[in-house]
Amino acid sequence: MFLDLDGFKLINDSLGHEQGDKLLVAFAERIAPLFHPGDTLARLGGDEFTLLLDNITNHHSLAIPERIQQALETPFHLGELEFSVSASIGIVMQPEPELGAEEILRDADTAMYRAKAQGRGQYVMFDPTMHNQALQRFQLEIELKKAIERQEFVVFYQPIVDLVNGGLVGFEALVRWQHPTQGLVLPDYFIPLAEKTGLIITIGREVLLAACQQAKSWQDKFDNQQKLLISVNLAVPQLLSSHIMDEIDQILQQSGLPPATLKLEVTESGIMENIETALDVLSAIRERSITLSIDDFGTGYSSLSYLHRFPFDTLKVDRSFVIEMEKDSKNLEIIRGIVGLAHNLEKKVIVEGIETETQLALVKNLGCEYGQGYLFAKPLPAKEAEKLLRSPRLFF
């Protein structure tokens, strides 16, 4: 078993390493009595422990993590302070005889990461498909790097519609990967890994440049489109990278796009997790007259007490609320609440994922300013999007 304490870094960072060390000792002392002579409990490093149990049955093996979690239910005391600590546990049962210690540890570690992903205090049994998934992730990372070199990313444009008059306000730029063998790959497949590995910084820069250049060329080419808005997603690693403002400035200069026609979309969890740095960058963005939108609003764990400190202009209501809206009037009330909140803060609301006439009628009725969704148009290649500018029409 591979054990890793949840949230240990926070304790170390906030109380200092000495307190952290004490907690590790207390943790080991707490769980050691659960095992039999002949079992081995070891600290690998940091807050990582491993546990080697001999001669146990499948049934028994699951009793152990249960007992560990139970033992951790009582809080720890360090001086005056009280802590609740949980551990994420990965388990490998009766590994193949040909596997060496390192491979067994690797598999237990993989299972432990899976447990972490499920939240605090979980345990997960390793199965070989996890190893395949780890390999696939590694493969995907290599492919992503190649894709960057070969410039295989393309930007699609989804119309953003004015819900008062049905007119086109602008587009959201959404990246796609023109894969050499798999065809067009959607971002949900590669953005999470690109964020984890930092590759999103390069990909995001390319997308921002392409989108700004495209928007500028449309503004110049078509009458009455000088204010055409382009909305671009900004991932957390981009937001936190030290060069982000230089890059934005350079792209604005290179494309000639008026900053007031650029909108950047940031997720609420991205801001909340790094509040101080994020606030600095967001104000720097705002100083340039670029506008800001909080994306996927309602799905993260925003602290409402922080909301008024964010210099944003638009709240983007997540699609999940819209899907549920017709089925359950409570979701409609949630959107109504979000709209009220936004309007009281003098912000505008954009609703994404509008797919039906009923949904459109409902969100219009709530006073949302903008909408986006398949009902109007799917994300389109630049050429298709351009047709909407060449022969403008109302979306409803």
Give the footprint of ligand C2E on this chain (CB under 6 A).
158, 174-175, 186-188, 191, 200, 204, 207, 233, 235, 265, 295-296, 319, 352-355, 372-374, 379
Least distance from ligand C2E to the Cβ atom of residue 380, Å: 10
- Taking the least distance from each CB to ligand C2E, the nearer of 208 and 366 is 208
- Taking the least distance from each CB to ligand C2E, the nearer of 53 and 240 is 240
What is the β-pairing status of strands 87-91 and 2-5?
Answer: antiparallel
Least distance from ligand C2E to the Cβ atom of residue 367, Å: 20
- Taking the least distance from each CB to Mg ion, the nearer of 89 and 211 is 211
> Which residue is it, tokens 């990372």?
141
369 binds, among ligand C2E, Mg ion, none (CB under 5 to 8 A by kind): none
Tokens coding 248? 């934005």
207 binds, among Mg ion, ligand C2E, none (CB under 5 to 8 A by kind): ligand C2E
- Contact assessment for residue 246 and residue 236, using Cβ atoms and an 8 Å cutoff: no
Q: Nearest 10 degrees: CA dihedral of 219, 222, 226, 228?
A: -70
Least distance from ligand C2E to the Cβ atom of residue 114, Å: 23
Q: CA 356 to CA 364: how far, in whole Å? A: 12
- Taking the least distance from each CB to ligand C2E, the nearer of 138 and 374 is 374
Tokens coding 275? 């509040």
265 is a contact residue toward Mg ion (CB under 5 A): yes
Among 126, 295, 312, 342, binds Mg ion (CB under 5 A): 295
Q: Which of 179, 174, 211, 121 lies closest to 373, judged by CA?
A: 174
Task: Report which DSSP code applies to 75.
Answer: P
| Type and span of the H or E element at 343 | helix 329-344
- Contact assessment for residue 349 and residue 369, using Cβ atoms and an 8 Å cutoff: yes
237 binds, among Mg ion, ligand C2E, none (CB under 5 to 8 A by kind): none
Q: Which of 349, 346, 264, 280 lies closest to 314, judged by CA?
A: 349
> Which residue is it, tokens 């999470």?
192
Q: Which of 269, 270, 275, 311 lies closest to 293, judged by CA?
A: 311
- Taking the least distance from each CB to Mg ion, the nearer of 114 and 263 is 263
Q: Which of residues 207-236 bind Mg ion (CB under 5 A)?
A: 233
Q: How far is CA 216 from CA 164, 170, 234, 392, in A?
A: 25, 12, 19, 18
138 binds, among Mg ion, ligand C2E, none (CB under 5 to 8 A by kind): none
Least distance from Mg ion to the Cβ atom of residue 302, Å: 14
296 is a contact residue toward Mg ion (CB under 5 A): yes
| Type and span of the H or E element at 233 | strand 229-233
- Taking the least distance from each CB to Mg ion, the nearer of 107 and 296 is 296
- Taking the least distance from each CB to ligand C2E, the nearer of 228 and 354 is 354
Stretch of 62-70, 155-163, 288-296, 386-394 lying at the interface with Mg ion (CB under 5 A): 288-296
Stretch of 104-112, 179-187, 189-197, 259-267 lying at the interface with Mg ion (CB under 5 A): 259-267
